[in-house]
Structure 1
Amino acid sequence: MVFSLPAGLPPGRFERRGPAEIWVCDELPDDVDVLFGELLRQAAVTGLYPHLCWPDPHDRPEDPAAADAIRLDEVLAADFAAYRQERLPYWSAPASEETSDDLPEDVEPWPHDPGPPFETWPGLAPAGPPSGDGGPGTTPEEAARRTVADLLSTEYFTPSLTLVPARRAADVVAVIGWDGGPPIPLLTALLRSWEDRFGARVVGAYGGDVHVSVARPPLDRASADRLALEHLLSTADNIVDDPPTPFPEYASGLIGRTQWRFWWD
């Protein structure tokens, strides 16, 4: 069923993605970041969320309701226990001199990763600090606008701007069926929780990437450590492993960061 569009849109068309009907912009306007923020502001009323994606996707839509059954704290606790058992030998012992000697002269050995500073699941990270200080990303809409502007200034291709009917921004990835590799119900559950705690919004999913804007990032190391563990358990390949990044370094980089990127191979 074709929905009613917000006023002021550039030319576009309706397309079907699985059971969903979405609107696709014919060509990105110069002020697409401003438009994105405004469309996101209206989304609570229109039920249409702006989203950047491939022009010609090969998607497999999933029901966002599959995330409803996920008890996130319990699932991540079990996942961390399994992950820790697998990785503990690597965290406990730095790379041997023999391994370093085997590397070509022009290749640096991977840095040692001591892993997360937890023996058991520490629980979800606390919510980010309230907005209102005038700093970066004081509202989800402003954080999303800045993220979109940054993405479009660095990407080697031009994504499509779409409007996707969904209950919330976190559900858009499932609705359009982004096929980037992660378990979509778990990713959706995480994105919903990050929306609530950090004012996070998915702004785009294409190729193997998911890009998320963040209005209320953690500002202290203890919170960042717990959030970094959630990122790690998302199954994304770029968290810690690609490129190899020690967990403490990744966690410290989340302090005050208003853009998150997740990548699956």
Structure 2
Amino acid sequence: MNTFLHQPRLAADELFRVLSACFPQSPPTRATTPAGVEVIGVSVARDRMRDIWDEWRGQHGETGWWPHVSLMSPDDVARASFHEGVDAAALENLMAEVVCQDHDARTASVVVSSFRWSMECVGGDEEDRQGWRDDYDPDRLAPQLGPELAEPLAGVSRWGSGDRDTWGWGPRWLNFVPARGGYEVPVVLPHVIGTGNWFRYGDRILTPADDAALLRRWQEQWGAELFLAQGAYLELVVRRPPLHPRAAAQAATELLGYCADTVQDPRTAGDGMVRSTVWSLWWD
């Protein structure tokens, strides 16, 4: 039967067997979501998480399973309320939309929607309106940023690994789902990240298809790949962050349109996080 859902090269049973051999001290577990998506996970020490993620991310081409960090075990993921109303047929329709959409155009639509909402909020204050125009226009924003960098800034994971971690409790899980790339994780696990809760800003609603569009664009443009997905928290590992001010301004405006809770000042983000190797986003 034809399907838009990704069919991994490595069968679930085989991946489970390989993970069992690789992690004998922390045997993997597996569960199936209500829509029929298999999730296989292994508990990993926080200080080893990035290295282990890098290793398994490097094998994605051979396995077809995308690894991502979570506080939730596969059983927790399968039971989570973010699956409500998403059965196999609904997931197939959602994935069809994602596979067929123009992700660049959808990204632009999300940014324009965010800009319009911001302009409505400031009302008739022309100075504030001019400020929002500068924030959302890369050509206006770029001259306000610093010069091109010779190399990326070192990024540090805030939640997925290392010492800068606000989650001192609970184990870390490296969960695997069948996906063409990290951009499909919020699709096969609908609402797993903040925007997937269908956050509403006035008439704005962001959906898993919006998540997928922006994440796919960022992966193609700057090598930004989904590392952690957990409720209101999202982290991306960025292989080729934009170093030129015009490219950094483009990324900053898109991040502002997607997550204004994090990118409240695109100038600060454009000179800092955007040009680093880790993008940490969160929604209030």
TM-score, length basis structure 1: 0.71
Bigger drift between 80-89 and 63-72 goes to 80-89
Corresponding position of 1:92: 126
Residue-by-residue CA offset, 1:231-257 (whole Å, 9 max, x unaligned): 1222x24144xxxx3332232224421
Corresponding position of 2:175: 162
Corresponding position of 1:102: none
Corresponding position of 2:270: 251
Residue 149 in structure 1 maps to residue 161 in structure 2 = yes
Structure 1 residue ranges, 4+ long, deviating more than 6 angstroms after superposition: 118-122, 133-137, 143-147
**1:118 and 1:152 mapped to 2: Cα distance?**
29
**1:222 and 1:134 mapped to 2: Cα distance?**
16
Q: CA deviation at 1:121?
A: 8.3
Asked whether the equivalents of residues 151 and 243 of structure 2 are also in contact (C-alpha less than 8 Å), the reply is no
AA aligned to 2:22 is G
AA aligned to 2:126 is S
AA aligned to 1:214 is V
**2:184 and 2:253 mapped to 1: Cα distance?**
22
Corresponding position of 2:14: 4
Q: How does 1:65-214 map to 2 (within 5 A)?
A: 65-88=96-119, 90=122, 92-93=126-127, 114-117=131-134, 148-150=160-162, 153-157=165-169, 158-177=171-190, 178=192, 180=194, 181=197, 182-214=206-238
Aligned residue for 1:161, secondary structure, equals: strand
Q: CA deviation at 1:200?
A: 1.1
**1:71 and 1:37 mapped to 2: Cα distance?**
29
Q: CA deviation at 1:184?
A: 0.6
Aligned residue for 2:236, secondary structure, equals: strand
Corresponding position of 1:103: none
Asked whether the equivalents of residues 81 and 120 of structure 1 are also in contact (C-alpha less than 8 Å), the reply is no
Any stretches of 5+ residues in structure 2 without a counterpart?
1-10, 143-149, 198-205
Of the three residues 197, 213, 219, the one matched with 2:243 is: 219
Residue 21 in structure 1 maps to residue 38 in structure 2 = yes
- Kindly, what percent of the aligned residue pairs are identical? 22
CA RMSD of aligned residues (A): 3.5
Residue-by-residue CA offset, 1:184-241 (whole Å, 9 max, x unaligned): 101101111111111111011112111111011011221111111111222x24144x
**2:137 and 2:158 mapped to 1: Cα distance?**
36
- Number of aligned pairs? 229
TM-score, length basis structure 2: 0.66
**1:29 and 1:246 mapped to 2: Cα distance?**
30
AA aligned to 1:264 is W
Q: CA deviation at 1:175?
A: 1.3
Asked whether the equivalents of residues 31 and 40 of structure 2 are also in contact (C-alpha less than 8 Å), the reply is yes
Bigger drift between 50-59 and 213-222 goes to 50-59
AA aligned to 1:248 is R
Q: CA deviation at 1:117?
A: 2.8
Any stretches of 5+ residues in structure 1 without a counterpart?
95-111, 126-132, 138-142
AA aligned to 1:155 is W
